[in-house]
Amino acid sequence: MDLSSLADFNLVALHGGFGKASRASGRPKATLSRRVMDLEQSLGVRLLERDVRALRLTEEGQALYERTHTLLGEIKEAGDSVSAGLATPRGCLRVSAPVLFAHTLLGDLAAGFARAYPEVLLDITAEDRQVDLVSDGYDVVIRVNPRPDAMLVGRCFARDDMLLVAAPSVARPRSGSDGVPAVVPAVALANMFDHGPWHYQDGDVMSTVIPDIRLRLSSLIMIRDAVIAGAGAALMPQSLIRQADKHATLAVWGRLPDRPVELWVLHASRRLVSTKVTAFVDYLCRAFPQRVLAL
């Protein structure tokens, strides 16, 4: 695949037509048209649907554009850096992060990153949905316990313990003489189907309870406040319990050794990674030298 033809195709796709691409780039319209036709012939597929009124991408053209336009931009960025003798991170860096982490820690971290890299515009969205880097236009995602994904690579920058907690007014359960786990009223995340059992460790003792879900809430902060109000037991990361000294109103029943919490910073799995992405990943990892999450 000829990179010059690919670059011209991306230029046309970005501007929505040969005429607009020609005016924006100063390249002859006929040259752009010929290069795109050459690319189509080399690939054996039609990338653009042309008529007298409009131009649109075919399904194959849309897929090629989505997979290559960011990469071509990074190639240009790398070339500009080399030609200038610089490797300074610059440009817009779009990041998707979980709501709890974004609202409790990322504001301060973002301010520090902005001071360290003033030529990078950091654009962070707090959301719990599983975004797609290419189609949603993100450079980096932060995820909790991510599933393996061949399209993404990254590093685990912090870990946390998952605890079973309740208000002091909620009696700790005891298994019956037959060893059947006790059933306890519980609060759980709305987007996670978790009917238990919950195996937790208190000192050297392992115990099990079956949660009877009474509330499903979309935020761990809401869950913490509901548990403090006596709604039942819940699974909660240790860092959230420490926040604002509210742990004084919670009783920790034990730690769940089979439910570790890992925070990962991920980006697209390709050899060429922009300097701004590398800078953000390194900065986030340096912010947690012990790899322990603390709110």
Q: Note the pLDDT tens digit of each residue in 64-78.
A: 888 888 777 777 776
Taking the C-alpha atoms of residue 197 and residue 69, their distance in angstroms, rounded to an integer, is 47
- Residues 98 and 150 occupy one common structural domain: yes
The band of 256, judged by pLDDT with boundaries at 50, 70 and 90, is very high
More confident residue, 158 or 249: 158
| 8 A C-beta contact, residue 155 and residue 110 | no
Note the pLDDT tens digit of each residue in 94-129. Answer: 999 998 899 889 999 999 999 999 999 999 999 888
Q: What is the mean pLDDT of the chain?
A: 86
How many angstroms separate the CA atoms of 99 and 106, rounded? 10
Distance CA 157, CA 146 (A): 13
**Beta pairing, strands 152-160 & 261-268:** antiparallel
Q: What is the CATH number of the domain that holds 219?
A: 3.40.190.10
Alpha-carbon distance of 207 to 168, in angstroms, equals 18
Which stretches of 27-160 are DSSP H helices? 29-43, 59-84, 99-101, 107-116, 133-136
Residue 294 covered by a domain:
no
Identify the domain containing residue 275 by its residue range: 91-160+262-287
Q: Are residues 266 and 155 in the same domain?
A: yes
Residues 187 and 143 placed together within one structural domain of the fold: no
Task: Pick the last residue of a domain from 49, 84, 119.
Answer: 84
Give the pLDDT band (50/70/90) at residue 272: low
pLDDT digits (tens, 9 = 90+) for 211-228: 999 999 988 889 999 999
Domain co-membership, 247 together with 268: no
Residue 188 — φ and ψ, nearest 5°? -140, 165
The answer to whether residue 244 scores a pLDDT higher than 50 is: no
Cis peptide before 197 (omega within 30 of 0): yes
Phi first, then psi, for residue 277 (nearest 5°) are -70, -45
Amino acid at 276: K
**Within this chain, do residues 75 and 148 fall inside the same structural domain, yes or no?**
no
Q: pTM for the complete prediction?
A: 0.67
**Segment 280-295, tens digit of pLDDT:** 999 999 999 988 886 5
Has residue 292 been placed in a domain? no
Residues near 238 by beta carbon (within 8 Å), at least 6 away in sequence = 160, 161, 162, 163
CA dihedral 63, 67, 73, 78 (to 10 degrees): -160
Torsion of CA 68, 74, 75, 78, to 10 degrees: -170
- pLDDT at residue 122 in the model: 95
